[in-house]
Structure 1
Amino acid sequence: MDLTSFITNGTLTFLSGELTFPTSLSMNSKTVKEGDIFVAIPGSQHDGIIFIGEALERGANSIVTQGMDAKKLIRLQEQYPEVAFFETHNARKTLSLLAAAFYPLQPDNSVAVTGTNGKTSVVSFIRQIWAHLGFPAASLGTLGLVVANKPNVPFREMGDTNTPNAIALHEILQNLKEEHIEHVAFEASSHGLHQHRLDSVKLKAAVFTNLSNDHLDYHETLESYFEAKARLFKELIPKHGYAILNADIAEYETLYSLCRKRKLQTITFGKAGKTIRLISITPGEGAQDIHLSVEGKSYELTLPFVGQFQVYNVMAALGAVMACGGNQEQAVQACTYLKSVPGRLEQVVPRVYVDFAHTPDALFTALKALRPHTKGKLWVVFGCGGNRDTSKRPMMGEIADRLADEIIITDDNPRHEDPAKIRQEILAKCSRASEGSSRHHAIQTAVEGMDLDDVVLIAGKGPENYQIVGDLAVPFNDSEEIRKYVR
């Protein structure tokens, strides 16, 4: 690829060497091939600069750096005089621009979904509605790349569980386009937005679901966390693109104002939504009847899963489909056929649910969703992840203490922290809970201890197939454990 335009527009500053045409792009020195351009990405744990030597040994013919020590740079330039060295002000953004140049094709209808909770369900629902409308469609995020009505499209290692790195993302988008898949919805994580992974994606629309405490170990403050997500609307959606906003959250007015200022078209949903308004919800056995007003027209339909939060996820998905030109009548009717994603209030056996809830807001939402379906006691089994935001631990304990009848605090990916210490930090605000160091035993206690009218929620891991202890991923699955102990 010719790098001349990147030098001309100031993205790259040419330092030394011979200008060549790189044949591929890499940010991982271990995947570098002969003729590659290697972008050294500054990292929170490892700086890509320290891997430049390995990239050169593997045959990289171009190197992009950010803030490299002058003496180290001179040594490498002297050792590899034929290699083109470049400096850039923002290596992550530059990587995104280069990735889009190496993989220039993208689907015509791309939707990014951000927010603390609901991203995985919303992208899945968008894909499912598109499929019911007859569009070959894909969703991308926590569950990987899922393609409707097509065989799976091969793609490089994603690198992140929500939003792939920029190279993998653009390779996926090009593969989808080449497979004639023009509709894709993907999760836009706060990390991905902050790290510029989505900066070169051509978006038709973006969704904001909600905001609550999460990832403060990375963003440090809730304000910074919100700003990372708001980049999607401040900078990435093009003028006259669509913003699908939850009108019932505290951040709505701020988001709506900035969208109007940028001349974005808005679709709002919720009890206060102007485009899609929630009128009523009636809980049923494993389902719920809802009444919506969509563009002023009344609709009554049954959703085949429980939880008010799922109704909001459906409304968000419906708004995204409408933004991309989907037929309103057909899209609304398609909602009655939706399937919830694994691990999102998934009923494993009668009255026993697993949910991925691992934030205060998500736990609150899951327990509130199950209460109308509970005639007896509401049980919850949960823990908090190690080496992650510690502030949410007592918050989640307080929520469980307030909303559940029977509580068991256990372990959930303790990583390198002392599991007992994590449990005590939760128990500080949940003194009536029992403590179970073994997640196996905690689940057994709840499932065998529940009465006929009780409901049990096993929260935190959802569909995960492992428990992270230290550096080990020990095989473990909540659903499998539940089935062991059903009477």
Structure 2
Amino acid sequence: MLIVAGCKMSETGHNHIAGEWACKKPGTVVSSGQGISLADITQSLNISSSSALSNSCFINKITEDSREVTSGSLFIALSGSRQDGHDFIEQAIESGCAVLLVEKDRPLAEIVSDSPVCILQVTDTRKALGILAEMIFQFPAKNMTMVAVTGTNGKTTVTYLFESVLRHAGRNPGVLGTVNYRYQLPTGKMRKIPSPFTTPEPFLLQKILREMADSGVETVIMEVSSHGLEQNRIGNLLFDLAAFTNLSRDHLDYHSDMEDYYSAKALLFSAHLKDTGKAVVTYGDDDSSIWSERLHDICTDNGYPVLSCGRRKNCDVSAVNVSGTLRQTEITFQTPEGSCPVCSTLVGDFNVENLQTTFAIALASGVSSSTICKALSQAGGAPGRMQRIRICSSEHHFRPTVFVDFAHTPDALEQVLKTIKMLPHRNLFCVFGCGGDRDVGKRPLMGEIAGRYADVAILTDDNPRSEDSQAILSSVAEGIKKSGQIQQNNDWLQSRKSGNSGYLLIADRHRAIHTGIAAAGCDDIVLIAGKGHENYQISNSGRKFFDDSLEAAEALSNWTLESLTLATGGQLINNSAYNELSGSINTDSRTIQPNDIFLALKGEIFDAHDYVKQVIGAGAGCLILEREPEFPPSIPVILVKNTEQALGDLASYRRSCMKIFTTPVVAAITGSSGKTTVKEMCASIFSEQWPEVSDAAPERVLKTEGNFNNLIGLPLSLLPISPKHQAVILEMGMNRPGEIA
């Protein structure tokens, strides 16, 4: 074995090609070419040269995962909070590791005594990993403007807003954040990469920065998490500007206390600003302003100019004359360049803070106030951040307003609920839960907060992970009981009067969301909190696709008595026994499911009105008929002049309303022969574009089934269209001229 030691970064003498390296798995890079010489590695880490280390020795795989080690690899032993890579050195050697990068003063003699492996010793392998990542991808950040945003809440929204401002100003930004990593390719197409972490691990971070630099990105906007800072994921990156949003309780399963959490955030300002760097510090309420003040002092002590914004008196950027509705917020910003009006589609007090922070970042980046105001007036927010789910304009008078938000901490949940409480509304519903294997102390706190602000709280699963779902819900319920709320059942939701309060436990998040939205009405607000942009749910059964926004859209597009009446132009009678409808319209009395909507067709030799008793007995939720039943019905009835016409009207209305949620590819196929074959071939092609995969909604391609292609079959084929569909393939037959037209 050969042991050499040291660690200091050098940027010279690297002859490898950055583009040949790929991040196959987290913490691992593989070269498709010659790789990197061991001499370059030791030079980068400032390890003393040795005759045994020559340019003829090349490494083409570097990994921090001993399971990924193959012959000739370099294995980096990282010390973590749960595992220590030094415990897996023997496994790495057995797998053919050529070089070990370890921390000094580790007892390795017995493990490596008979091995030819080369050992590189450094003080901190995490720091060395960052240096190697930058060196492999040839220091991509050095020719781009680097902007970092940190804080507990607001990072994602601020980065989305600032991205919009830069694009409006004619600049080319790239973003690395919680939702995804994205930048514009030279072709003009946006490249979006799913983000496993808010702040990516060093190899992936530098790989993406290299791609951004090569694509002409001018400014990189990064969300920088406390984990990313403490684990040194950003390596030696230095930023031109760093911004702080706020600090409140979060990640205390990882950080020992709030002081430890703050110290991790503060590293961005004390260790990762360029000598010419600037800082933006946001001042929120009195409690969080303590942390803002301390960061402000760190910056001024180190000679960094600070642009302040927020609620504190004499801030450089402040919001005055704020007024808002459910759909927009009007603000006048007071800035060093004068006053500036903004009318934003974002709503809520905390979004005023996000807009202020963005304004300050943009000013510090040299964008004019007038450009910022125009950009912010046009900018949308981030997915899953106080995201209002749009509904068909004709249904505003009977649907609730639904927001999806990522609020998963006590402070974030209180901020969003407090904001919504101030908006005009009748009842406030809150559907939320807490994640498993995370800070257990915040669960009763979030329960108590929901109980104080919401009229109806529905406790449900978030990401239970390895924990028992019911145990998590019970912990949250302990907090909600302290607010005075009483547990209720589903029947209470149907019979409650406006203003009556209580909470329910519905572990199934799908059912919880649909139940909450079905129970809410016009002028009510439903907040779905905790998961925001996430499109998955993790439990002890594994990971599955789940999207709060899609679930909300599906629930808001379910049929109601109001939408059925509006679509058919019919007359509603017997509304006294209204139950939640399933959303399925059925013309076959033999296949009625509970809460189905039965539409009674008439033909030359049959009349489905004769089977009304049968469908009521089967649990139908509503009837669409041409004549009143001969007996008093126990469920709602909608009377129309012609049920066949009503069926077509329902399908037309359905497709019209879906345009607010989705714009699928629609293929209509007709002809004398070959329709079915062509339809099936098209469906197969579209299914390749939108396949059945674990990270997307199932059955995204809708097609005509069987021979449902006539005046009855076509509407029945189209009626199942929903917000999840990306393609619709319809087969159309014709019995007489004019039917298709």
Calculate the TM-score normalised by the size of structure 1. 0.92
SS of equivalent to 1:217: coil
Using the alignment, how far apart are the partners of 1:7 and 1:421 within structure 2? 52
Report if the CA contact (8 A) 2:44-2:132 is conserved: no
Question: Pairwise mapping of residues 111-126 of structure 1 onto structure 2 (< 5 A)?
Answer: 111-126=147-162
Question: Pairwise mapping of residues 43-442 of structure 1 onto structure 2 (< 5 A)?
Answer: 43-53=80-90, 55-56=92-93, 60-66=97-103, 69-70=106-107, 72-79=108-115, 81=116, 83-103=117-137, 104-106=139-141, 107-148=143-184, 150-152=188-190, 160-248=196-284, 249-272=289-312, 274-350=315-391, 351-431=401-481, 432=485, 433-442=503-512
Q: Which residue of 1 aligns with 2:626?
A: none
SS of equivalent to 1:177: helix
Give 1:269's aligned amino acid: C
Unaligned runs of 5+ in 2: 1-35, 392-400, 486-502, 561-741
Using the alignment, how far apart are the partners of 1:16 and 1:472 within structure 2? 51
Deviation at 1:6, TM superposition (A): 7.4
Deviation at 1:256, TM superposition (A): 0.8
Compared CA separation, residues 451 and 463, structure 1 to 2 (3 A): same
SS of equivalent to 2:449: helix
Report if the CA contact (8 A) 1:16-1:77 is conserved: no
Using the alignment, how far apart are the partners of 1:54 and 1:318 within structure 2? 52
Work out the percentage of aligned pairs sharing the same amino acid.
33
Deviation at 1:27, TM superposition (A): 2.3
Compared CA separation, residues 4 and 399, structure 1 to 2 (3 A): same
Using the alignment, how far apart are the partners of 2:536 and 2:415 within structure 1? 24
Deviation at 1:368, TM superposition (A): 1.6
Q: Which residue of 1 aligns with 2:651?
A: none
Give 1:87's aligned amino acid: Q
SS of equivalent to 2:366: coil
Compared CA separation, residues 73 and 347, structure 1 to 2 (3 A): farther
CA-atom RMSD in angstroms: 2.6
Deviation at 1:316, TM superposition (A): 1.7
Using the alignment, how far apart are the partners of 2:340 and 2:70 within structure 1? 56
Using the alignment, how far apart are the partners of 1:405 and 1:12 within structure 2? 64
Task: Name which structure has the greater RCO, CA cutoff 8 Å, separation 6+.
Answer: 1
Deviation at 1:67, TM superposition (A): 5.6
Using the alignment, how far apart are the partners of 1:377 and 1:40 within structure 2? 55
Q: Which residue of 1 aligns with 2:564?
A: none
Using the alignment, how far apart are the partners of 1:451 and 1:59 within structure 2? 65
Deviation at 1:370, TM superposition (A): 1.4
Larger Rg: 2
Deviation at 1:153, TM superposition (A): 5.1
Compared CA separation, residues 287 and 466, structure 1 to 2 (3 A): same
Using the alignment, how far apart are the partners of 1:7 and 1:213 within structure 2? 42
SS of equivalent to 1:255: helix
Deviation at 1:12, TM superposition (A): 5.0
Give 2:234's aligned amino acid: L
Using the alignment, how far apart are the partners of 2:103 and 2:45 within structure 1? 14
Give 1:121's aligned amino acid: T
Deviations 1:244-265 (A, max 9, x none): 1002323121111110001111
Deviation at 1:378, TM superposition (A): 0.9
Deviations 1:437-458 (A, max 9, x none): 2212221221111121110001
Give 2:140's aligned amino acid: L
Question: Paired residue for 1:451, among 516, 521, 529?
Answer: 521
Using the alignment, how far apart are the partners of 1:237 and 1:223 within structure 2? 21
My pick for the range that moved more, 273-282 or 131-140, is: 273-282
Q: Which residue of 1 aligns with 2:553?
A: 483
SS of equivalent to 2:388: strand
SS of equivalent to 1:216: coil
Using the alignment, how far apart are the partners of 1:172 and 1:90 within structure 2? 24
Give 2:470's aligned amino acid: A
Give 1:481's aligned amino acid: E
Report if the CA contact (8 A) 1:26-1:167 is conserved: no
SS of equivalent to 1:279: strand
Give 1:233's aligned amino acid: F
Unaligned runs of 5+ in 1: none
Give 1:292's aligned amino acid: F
Report if the CA contact (8 A) 1:277-1:294 is conserved: yes
Deviations 1:152-188 (A, max 9, x none): 4587x86x42000111111111221111112110110
Give 2:355's aligned amino acid: V
Q: Which residue of 1 aligns with 2:500?
A: none
Deviation at 1:16, TM superposition (A): 12
Deviation at 1:349, TM superposition (A): 3.9
SS of equivalent to 1:224: helix
My pick for the range that moved more, 2-11 or 409-418, is: 2-11
Report if the CA contact (8 A) 1:14-1:87 is conserved: no
Give 1:250's aligned amino acid: I
Give 1:131's aligned amino acid: R
SS of equivalent to 2:479: coil
Compared CA separation, residues 28 and 86, structure 1 to 2 (3 A): same
Deviation at 1:13, TM superposition (A): 7.8
Compared CA separation, residues 321 and 440, structure 1 to 2 (3 A): same
Calculate the TM-score normalised by the size of structure 2. 0.61
Compared CA separation, residues 34 and 396, structure 1 to 2 (3 A): same
Deviations 1:25-49 (A, max 9, x none): 4323455566543311122233223
Give 2:79's aligned amino acid: P
Deviation at 1:285, TM superposition (A): 3.6
Using the alignment, how far apart are the partners of 2:50 and 2:465 within structure 1? 43
Compared CA separation, residues 63 and 388, structure 1 to 2 (3 A): same
Deviation at 1:288, TM superposition (A): 0.5
Deviations 1:93-148 (A, max 9, x none): 11112211222121421111110011111111121111111111111111221224
Report if the CA contact (8 A) 2:447-2:479 is conserved: yes
